[in-house]
């Protein structure tokens, strides 16, 4: 999702580091887990927890280690995955990994950071380059676009709305819509390969000559130029307003979701053959993922603290703070970004919503000459709710 093309850009960032199957709603419950109490962004630390209930075993049915590829540095956006290990995992700073027991399931889990640790390639590319990876973070827009060339199937969706935004300095620009951004001609920075940009250009909301795919995650151009920039409502807004010394003033933003690109962001996805080859694993594992997400949203503080520690242990150009992480969890709730999905339980995806996006998205791809999508692709090709437990819910 986030890409970079030259080592020189990495150096520039480092200098600024001090600043900054069949889709169905039927489910197959595999474990005994309970629905959580109503979620709040708690601020009181609690003992380390993991999602696996006592007695759940994944030995012999899941890969060991079970490897998950994320799309960026550890953040609250990924907390439910790290929470499957809990706060006692071990960091490998060179490789960007976090490894530890997956509760008392009897197997080891490893969460891999994205960004520089995978050469800034999309997780789908890394997924197909490394057969050890069992699951990867893939948004449904990318899954549709690459449904022929790099097919994946989402089995869990943490996000009800994508937190992706375009952001700008309100002292330089005043925008109420994506049409306004396009009409202004303002430079728009984004990560190369981001599916949402193809959508915005293809729908005529932005022009190809105003977008710039050289964005690398660093703040240098935003703080020195009048630009519009890709970001996350759960991250960059707080970081720029509170943590980046060269800025520390307001930013404005629009959710890309509100442009009509209603993807499920960063879904936990597998390769299609895993639906058959690893069905027993998915039946047992996916409810644990649901429970981990509920646990995190109800008591985010322990994992938010640990995520901040992990980022500092990685000792790269990316920065974080506990304040940022706690604010991110609050934004998830306040803006309705994370909530129970289809039929009132966490992780479920609405096939009608996905098909509606396909109906708009595929013609855009065709007009842009992109040929990586499967002819006739439908929601059932890229998503399934069959492994979710409907008793596991956030309650909002």
Nearest-angstrom CA–CA distance, 71 and 112:
9
Q: How many CA atoms lie within 13 Å of 285's alpha carbon, on the beta-carbon side?
A: 33
User: Is residue 14 scored above 60 in pLDDT?
Assistant: no
* Domain limits, the chain: 20-161+263-382, 164-259
What is the pLDDT, as a whole number, of residue 114?
96
More confidently predicted of 147 and 1: 147
Model pLDDT for residues 352-392, shown as the tens digit of each residue:
999 999 999 999 999 989 999 999 999 999 999 999 999 99
Residue 54 binned pLDDT confidence (cut-offs 50, 70, 90): low
3-state secondary structure 103-136: CCCCCEEEEECCHHHHCCCCHHHHHHHCCCEEEE
What is the pLDDT, as a whole number, of residue 1?
41
Taking Cα atoms as reference points, which of 141, 393, 134 lies closest to residue 268?
A: 134
On whether the CB atoms of residues 20 and 271 are closer than 8 A, the answer is: no
Range list of H helices, the chain: 7-15, 79-82, 123-129, 140-145, 178-184, 195-202, 220-224, 236-238, 274-277, 279-298, 301-314, 322-334, 351-367, 379-382
Residue 209 binned pLDDT confidence (cut-offs 50, 70, 90): very high
Query: In a 3-state reduction of DSSP, which class is residue 395?
Result: coil
Model pLDDT for residues 90-138, shown as the tens digit of each residue:
999 999 999 999 999 999 999 999 999 999 888 999 999 999 999 999 9
User: Is residue 7 scored above 60 in pLDDT?
Assistant: no
Residue 9 binned pLDDT confidence (cut-offs 50, 70, 90): very low
What mean pLDDT is reported for the chain?
88
User: Is residue 168 scored above 50 in pLDDT?
Assistant: yes
Retrieve residue 336's tokens: 């309705």
Nearest-angstrom CA–CA distance, 269 and 153:
5
Residue 39 binned pLDDT confidence (cut-offs 50, 70, 90): very low
What is the pLDDT, as a whole number, of residue 121?
86
Model pLDDT for residues 213-245, shown as the tens digit of each residue:
999 888 999 999 999 999 999 999 999 999 999
Edge-to-edge, what's the strand order for the sheet holding 133-138? 90-92, 97-101, 108-112, 66-69, 133-138, 267-270, 153-156
Scored b (16 or more CB within 10 A) or e, 28-62 reads eebbebebbeebebbeeeeeebbbbbeebebeebb
Query: In a 3-state reduction of DSSP, which class is residue 323?
Result: helix
Residue 15 binned pLDDT confidence (cut-offs 50, 70, 90): very low
Residue 27 binned pLDDT confidence (cut-offs 50, 70, 90): very low
Residue 55 binned pLDDT confidence (cut-offs 50, 70, 90): low
As a dihedral over the C-alpha atoms of residue 152, residue 144, residue 175, residue 243, rounded to 10 degrees, the angle is 10
Query: Would strands 164-168 and 228-232 be described as parallel, antiparallel, or unpaired?
Result: antiparallel
Mean pLDDT within 322-341: 96
On whether the CB atoms of residues 58 and 105 are closer than 8 A, the answer is: yes
Model pLDDT for residues 287-316, shown as the tens digit of each residue:
999 999 999 999 999 999 999 999 999 999
Q: Place domain 20-161+263-382 in its CATH homologous superfamily.
A: Periplasmic binding protein-like II (3.40.190.10)
Non-local (6+) Cβ contacts of 33 within 8 A are 53, 287, 288, 290, 291, 389, 391, 392
Q: How many CA atoms lie within 13 Å of 256's alpha carbon, on the beta-carbon side?
A: 28
Mean pLDDT within 189-218: 92
Q: Place domain 164-259 in its CATH homologous superfamily.
A: Periplasmic binding protein-like II (3.40.190.10)
């Amino acid at each position: 999702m986030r890409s970079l093309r030259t080592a020189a850009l990495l150096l520039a960032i480092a200098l600024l580091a001090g600043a900054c199957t069949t889709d169905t709603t039927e489910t197959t419950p595999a474990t005994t887990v309970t629905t959580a109490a109503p979620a709040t962004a708690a601020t009181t630390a609690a003992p380390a927890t993991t999602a696996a209930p006592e007695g759940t075993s994944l030995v012999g049915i899941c890969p060991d280690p079970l490897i998950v590829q994320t799309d960026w540095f550890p953040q609250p956006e990924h907390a439910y995955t790290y929470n499957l290990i809990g706060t006692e995992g071990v960091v490998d700073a060179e490789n960007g990994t976090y490894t530890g027991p997956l509760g008392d399931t009897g197997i080891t889990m490893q969460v891999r950071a994205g960004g520089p640790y995978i050469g800034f390639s999309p997780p789908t590319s890394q997924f197909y380059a490394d057969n050890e990876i069992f699951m990867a973070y893939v948004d449904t827009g990318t899954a549709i676009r690459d449904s022929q060339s790099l097919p994946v199937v989402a089995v869990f969706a943490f996000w009800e709305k994508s937190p992706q935004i375009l952001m700008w300095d309100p002292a330089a620009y005043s925008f109420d819509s994506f049409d306004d951004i396009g009409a202004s001609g303002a430079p728009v920075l984004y990560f190369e390969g981001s599916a949402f940009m193809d959508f915005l250009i293809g729908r005529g909301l932005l022009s190809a000559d105003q977008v710039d795919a050289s964005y690398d995650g660093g703040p240098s151009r935003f703080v020195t130029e009048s630009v519009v920039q890709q970001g996350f409502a759960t991250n960059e807004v707080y970081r720029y307003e509170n943590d980046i010394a060269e800025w520390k003033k307001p930013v404005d933003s629009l959710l890309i979701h509100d442009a009509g690109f209603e993807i499920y962001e960063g879904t936990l996805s597998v390769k299609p053959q895993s639906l058959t080859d690893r069905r027993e694993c998915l039946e047992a594992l996916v409810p644990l993922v649901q429970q981990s997400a509920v646990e995190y949203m109800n008591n985010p503080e322990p994992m938010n603290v640990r995520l901040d520690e992990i980022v500092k242990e990685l000792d790269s150009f990316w920065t974080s703070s506990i304040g940022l992480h706690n604010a991110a969890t609050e934004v998830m709730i306040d803006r309705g970004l994370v909530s129970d999905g289809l039929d009132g339980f966490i992780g479920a995806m609405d096939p009608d919503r996905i098909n509606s996006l396909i109906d708009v998205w595929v013609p855009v791809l065709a007009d842009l000459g992109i040929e990586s999508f499967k002819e006739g692709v439908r929601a059932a090709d890229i998503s399934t709710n069959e492994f979710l437990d409907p008793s596991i819910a956030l309650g909002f």
